[in-house]
Amino acid sequence: MIRTFIAIDLPETVKKDLETLQRSLMTSTKGIRWVDPKGVHLTLKFLGDVELDRISEIESVIADISKQHKPFKLIPNGCGVFPSWKAIRVVWVGLEGDLELLKTLYTTLEENLERIGFPREERQFTPHLTIGRTKSISRDEKLAQTLAKFITFRSSPFTVEEIVLFKSTLTPSGAIYQRLYAAKLSVENSQ
């Protein structure tokens, strides 16, 4: 069994911008475990522990889906928290751009994975980049004030060109991600 998820990887320029943002936030916040910027990604589907013999089946779904969707642009923009300012668990950066194309890709992925036995996500898809987590739910006024200064944060636009299947290995110092498979987005011509 290996722990896996499907995601959109980010270009180095965006990861560097997120690292700069995290450094700015670190100086005035406590109790947040910051995600290594090298590992920040846009999760499309967390699969959890998957048997090794199912990986090729998942890769096949990703390959099929990638042929149905064209590349699209996203822009990391703004900051926020989940689930609320009164109960902070996750610090995130939002996204703007071709969100309808992203949501269509997500829906297609959910439908196709459900056909091979992976249940649909119960929560609504809210595209975001997780940059930090708290160990326990907290109300942090200082974090809220600091984040308010970065509401206008904006990183470089980037083009989503592929879907990636990742392996996630949990360690005491955080998760380590390894790319297992990637498929380029490329709508096939039917002519």
Catalytic residues: 41, 128
In sequence order, the 6+-apart residues with CB closer than 8 A to the CB of 152 are: 78
Rounded Cα distance between 53 and 57, Å, is 8
Rounded Cα distance between 12 and 103, Å, is 24
Q: State the DSSP H helix or E strand holding residue 111, giving kind and residue range, or none if neither.
A: helix 99-115
Q: What is the DSSP letter of 36?
A: P
Instruction: Tokens 């879907």: give the residue.
Output: 163
Rounded Cα distance between 57 and 181, Å, is 12
